[in-house]
């Protein structure tokens, strides 16, 4: 297969990175350092300070003209991302949460796949979770169900052309810090859902983006997803319950869901059972603890 020329300075490869932050002083410098160290440097980095009461803004200001800081009243992460997207100038938008870490070649490898297949509107990557510096030994995409998608292979990854909409209640292949989306497409689908809560806006956005094909996948770990006690995802049962509520809303509200309603409801039933199993397990563990069993 012939090598595809890649010019990171071409306007079509311009990327605006958007980072919402709320009281994220503990990790924001690490996140910004990783973004600014990309082998294909972003055209701009926009940090939307969502009404932080700590010294997050002061830390961002130390980066001077390398980072654009926008201070807004607290309105939640989805609204902050939408504000950043509305002000971005890049052909592509890459969202990153203020505590996650990109590996140096993330943007370059996503852009290379976009150059190989110009008709894609989105490129996602694989990622791993990490806690207190310890990285998981298994990546997220390694859990992809068999026959979840039909990959069309390219040098830099693969492209999905057959819709996966009906399967998204069974497996979510992307999170916010892995996606790179064409700016025009992001604005056309309405950005992040400001009515969603408890980070459900991420899944709502992913659902609308990945319901449209073709999109690209770089099946390589290019992002580290930080888990810590302050993150909303630290409580797995609460996260599962929120997911059920959110998927109920998606199935009822989004027109993209209606042709796949039966499939989505089947997956949602499985998710409800997982909530029930988790609740039962946690109750048993509490009883054992009260009775003095280990």
Read off the pLDDT of residues 219-278 as tens digits, 9 standing for 90 and up. 999 999 998 655 555 566 777 888 888 899 899 989 999 999 999 999 999 889 888 888
Asked whether the beta carbons of 175 and 225 are under 8 A apart, the reply is yes
Does the residue 151 lie in any domain? Answer: yes
Q: What are phi and psi of 177, to 5 degrees?
A: -75, 0
Domain limits at 131?
11-230
What's the structural domain count of the chain? 1
Look at the alpha carbons of 109, 40, 188, 116 in this order and tell me if their dihedral is positive or negative.
Answer: negative
Q: pLDDT tens for residues 179-219?
A: 999 999 999 999 998 876 555 668 889 999 999 999 999 99
DSSP labels, the chain: -PPPP--TTSGGG-EEEEEEESS-TTTHHHHHHHHHT-SS--SEEEEEEES-SSSHHHHHHTTGGGSEEEEE----HHHHHHHHHHH--SSEEEE--TT-EE-TTHHHHHHHHHHH-TT-SEEEEEEEEEETTEEPSS-GGGGPPTTS--EEEETTEEEE-S--GGGTTT-----GGG-EEEHHHHHHTTSS-TT--TTHHHHHHHHHHHTSS-EEEEEEEEEEEE--TTSGGG-HHHHHHHHHHHHHHHHHH-GGGGGGHHHHHHHHHHHHHHHHHHHHHHHHHHHHHHTT--
> Looking at 24-28, 99-103, 164-168, 250-254, which range is the least confident one?
250-254
Does the residue 264 lie in any domain? Answer: no
> Looking at 53-57, 109-113, 129-133, which range is the least confident one?
129-133
pLDDT over 70 (residue 2): no
Q: pLDDT tens for residues 78-99?
A: 999 999 999 999 999 999 999 9
pLDDT at residue 234, as a whole number:
52
Does the residue 98 lie in any domain? Answer: yes
Average of per-residue pLDDT values in the chain: 91
Does the residue 287 lie in any domain? Answer: no
For residues 165 and 233, the model is more confident at: 165
Residue 106 banded pLDDT, cuts 50, 70, 90: very high
Does the residue 215 lie in any domain? Answer: yes
226: domain CATH number?
3.90.550.10
pLDDT at residue 197, as a whole number:
57
Q: Percent of the chain having pLDDT more than 90? A: 76
User: Residue 116's CB: how many other CB atoms inside 10 A?
Assistant: 18
CA distances from 207 to 148, 158, 181, 217, 269 (A): 15, 19, 13, 15, 18
Q: pLDDT tens for residues 56-79?
A: 999 999 999 999 999 999 999 999
For residues 277 and 110, the model is more confident at: 110
pLDDT at residue 275, as a whole number:
82
pLDDT at residue 196, as a whole number:
67
């Amino acid at each position: 297969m012939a090598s595809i020329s890649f010019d990171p300075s071409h306007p079509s490869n311009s990327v605006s990175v958007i980072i919402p932050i709320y009281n994220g002083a503990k990790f924001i410098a690490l996140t910004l350092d990783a973004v600014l160290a990309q082998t294909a440097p972003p055209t701009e980095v926009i940090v939307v300070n969502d009404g932080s009461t700590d010294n997050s803004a002061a830390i961002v200001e130390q980066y001077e003209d390398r980072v654009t800081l926008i201070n807004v009243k607290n309105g939640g992460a989805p609204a902050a991302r939408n504000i950043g997207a509305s002000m971005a100038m890049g052909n592509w938008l890459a969202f990153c949460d203020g505590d996650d870490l990109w590996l140096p070649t993330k943007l370059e490898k996503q852009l290379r796949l976009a150059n190989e297949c110009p008709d894609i509107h989105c490129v996602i990557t694989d990622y791993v979770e990490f806690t207190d510096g310890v990285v998981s030994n298994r990546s997220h995409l390694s859990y992809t169900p068999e026959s979840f998608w039909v990959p069309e292979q390219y040098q830099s990854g693969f492209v999905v052309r057959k819709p996966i909409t009906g399967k998204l209640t069974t497996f979510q292949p992307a999170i916010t810090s892995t996606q790179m989306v064409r700016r025009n497409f992001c604005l056309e689908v309405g950005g992040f859902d400001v009515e969603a809560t408890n980070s459900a806006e991420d899944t709502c956005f992913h659902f609308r983006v990945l319901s449209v094909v073709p999109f690209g996948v770089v099946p390589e770990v290019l992002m580290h997803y930080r888990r810590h006690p302050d993150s909303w995802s630290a409580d797995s049962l609460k996260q599962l319950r929120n997911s059920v509520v959110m998927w109920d809303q998606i199935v009822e509200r989004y027109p993209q869901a209606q042709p796949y309603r039966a499939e989505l409801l089947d997956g949602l039933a499985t998710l409800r059972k997982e909530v029930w199993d988790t609740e039962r397990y946690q109750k048993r563990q509490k009883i054992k603890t009260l009775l003095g069993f280990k």
